[in-house]
Structure 1
Amino acid sequence: MQALSLRNAVALLCLSCLAALSGCNRDRGIDAQELDQRLARLEAKAMGGLVFIEGGTFTMGDFGAVGEDGIWRPFFPPTIEEDQPHEVTLSSYSLSRHKTTWEDFDTYLLANDLDVIERVFNEEWKREPFQSDESSPFYLKNPAQVTWEEANDYCHWLGQRTQLPLALPTSAQWEFAARNRGSTDWIFSTHDGKPLHAHRDLYEQVGEGADYVPVGSRLPLNPLGIYDMADNGKEWVSDWFSETWYRDNPTITDPTGPADGAEKVVRNLDFSFSRIGMPETVQTMHSEDRFLVTQFTFRCALQSPNPLKEFRGKGGD
């Protein structure tokens, strides 16, 4: 009798293990088959959404302009230290047409058995993935707002899934794309380089609309075919932040920024050349135990001088 009970117990344990394997993430409302389908769609979307950008040399930072008096002045003097102009040469690369969405990021979380959470300051709560309510801050088509480490991990994971050298773009790569390959006509990272108030209808949409909207739905794409460089949230890039690094490296090829630091670069929406540094957490005035975890939007870049088709044709070399 005891032997029979033992065999039954072992059988039940095996069935439980098989059920757990076949029903991966079932407790989160998604089974293994649906997850596989979502992964396949994500990989196809990621590869199909890469925009090839031919490299070149440009003046990165606040390139300013010469006035009628013949004197050069920066466009935005308060940040001239961190946005000091410098010559940069970039190899060709590819950049995602859209920011990473909550649907993309939730697929990543479930595929890696990571908690699907929302954060308020440094506190976390579980949430439902793939939210279809358009009023939700986690609406699946809106850009995901995550920490730098989460953004970095996502791009590398997606690179492993697709067997592509995907990573966060460098600050120089982001700016080159936002300025239509570094054009000095692109003071703002909009579709035409002009401020939004030059387009009343677009300005009203952004000013009166929600903070975040489905990616690519509010402003036109830029000439390279990329959306939301001037809208829908600031973006993480790969570089450590430094106010002096570019002053010490005035001419550089394929810069990745300083080797280390205390803050990561966030590309701003105010000007096409504007960047700020953000730490992982920010102290608040509430209490010493209550701090803000910094979260921003992001997109991935293909770190290869060849377009995806040629990269694949070379066997990924």
Structure 2
Amino acid sequence: MNTQEFEFDMATVRSQAGELKLSRSQGYYFSENLGADCVLEMVAIPEGTFMMGSPDIEKEAYDSEKPEHQVAVKPFFMGKYPITQTQWQVVATMPKVELALNPNPSKYQGDNHPVERVSWYEAIEFCWRLSRLTGKHYRLPTEAEWEYACRSRTNSRFHFGRSLPKHLANCYGSQSKNRYPESTTPVGLFGVANAFGLYDMHGNVNEWCVDGWHEDYNDAPTNGSAWLDEVEAQERVIRGGFWLSYPRNCRSAYRDSYEPDSRSSVIGFRVVCETENSLF
């Protein structure tokens, strides 16, 4: 991939009083031209190891986030934002691989709002079409990749720190509700990314992962791969929380599930692109 350097703003909660430190950082990305003046920006995520899940001392954790365990993740690229309605519409008009796609499925309309009300199967179809268009391997993230990318080398509840600044995320009680009451917000609205350069990892819409749902992490893979069983209708993992989630359910470790054929106005997705090369 022909990567370019980019700069972005990030925010860190420095104290229990919620004091914020703003800083500038750099990352790498490439742009995928989808046609119709529509671009998909993919951010480089370096390889690394991290502790996945929540420790026993985390009071807000659910049992499904345990046991905390070390996972090694290979490098990949991840969408800077959740897939938008414009990006969805462009790909939905392309010839199908297996499934027809509704070009306008979302409840909360806006070209730059995240697409929602798309099933896991339809998100997979989107990735297949994108792969065919570009010659690259696009897919949904594994659950481990998603959490690793969200944490971006942090081990706190949120990539911001111990608390979620409600003026920097679309969740329950956030300040965005004055302008966008009980709905999605445009991607990147809050103007701050995590340390990898990814936006909207907490709140706005839940995001599909490729993994099947398991009640806890006993026997989970430790190499960053997807955890799948031979069950066609197995519920699939969703991550990140959504516009009406309490902050507890927007944490980096929080996980939930949905039926793969369901379409919900609180679920969208972002894509990853595989790479064989070390990125840094």
TM-score by length of 1: 0.64
The equivalent of 2:161 in structure 1 is 193
Q: Deviations over 1:51-85 (max 9, x none)?
A: 111111111011x3xxxxxxx523424x2234431
The alignment status of 1:51 with 2:43, answered yes or no, reads yes
Of 93, 115, 134, the match for 1:144 = 115
Aligned counterparts, 1:289-300, within 5 A: 293-294=263-264, 296-300=267-271
Of the three residues 57, 60, 63, the one matched with 1:80 is 63
**3-state SS in 2 of match to 1:252:** coil
Matches of residues 22-61 of structure 1 in structure 2 within 5 Å? 39=35, 41-42=37-38, 45-46=39-40, 49-61=41-53
Deviation at 1:188, TM superposition (A): 1.4
Structure-to-structure mapping, 1:59-208, within 5 angstroms: 59-62=51-54, 64=55, 73-77=57-61, 79-112=62-95, 114=100, 116=102, 137-145=108-116, 146-181=118-153, 183-184=154-155, 186-189=156-159, 192-197=160-165, 204-208=174-178
Which residue in 1 is equivalent to 2:194? 222
Distance 1:266 1:204, change over 3 A: closer
Q: Structure 1 runs of 4+ off > 3 angstroms?
A: 113-119, 199-204, 206-209, 292-295
- How far is 1:298 from its partner? 0.7
SS of the aligned residue for 1:187 comes to: coil
Q: Which of the two has higher C-alpha Rg?
A: 1
- TM-score under structure 2 normalisation? 0.72
* Distance change in 2, residues 1:170/1:201 (3 Å): closer
Task: Say if 2:232 is the partner of 1:232.
Answer: no
Measure the CA separation in 2 of the matches of 1:138 and 1:200: 22
| SS of equivalent residue, structure 1 residue 158 | helix
CA distance, structure 2, for counterparts of residue 74 and residue 300 of structure 1: 29
CA distance in 2, matches of 1:165, 1:200: 36
- Relative distance call for 1:80 and 1:144 in structure 2 (3 A) is same
- The answer to whether the Cα contact below 8 Å between 1:266 and 1:277 also exists between their aligned partners in 2 is yes
Which one has a larger percent strand, Structure 1 or Structure 2?
Answer: 2
Q: Hey, what's the Cα distance between the residues in 1 that align with 2:168 and 2:115?
A: 26
Change beyond 3 A, Cα 1:205–1:112: farther
Compute the displacement of 1:50 (Å).
Answer: 1.2
CA RMSD of aligned residues (A): 2.8
Contact kept, 8 Å, 1:83 with 1:274, in 2: the verdict is no
Aligned residues: 228
List alignment gaps of at least 5 residues for structure 1: 1-36, 65-71, 120-126, 128-135, 282-291, 311-317
Matched, 1:278 2:258: yes
The residue identity in structure 2 corresponding to 1:280 is P
Of Structure 1 and Structure 2, which has the larger fraction of its residues in helix?
1
Q: Separation in 1 of the partners of 2:230 and 2:161?
A: 32
Say which is worse superposed, 50-59 or 203-212, in terms of deviation: 203-212
Which blocks of at least 5 consecutive residues in structure 2 are unaligned?
1-32, 242-249
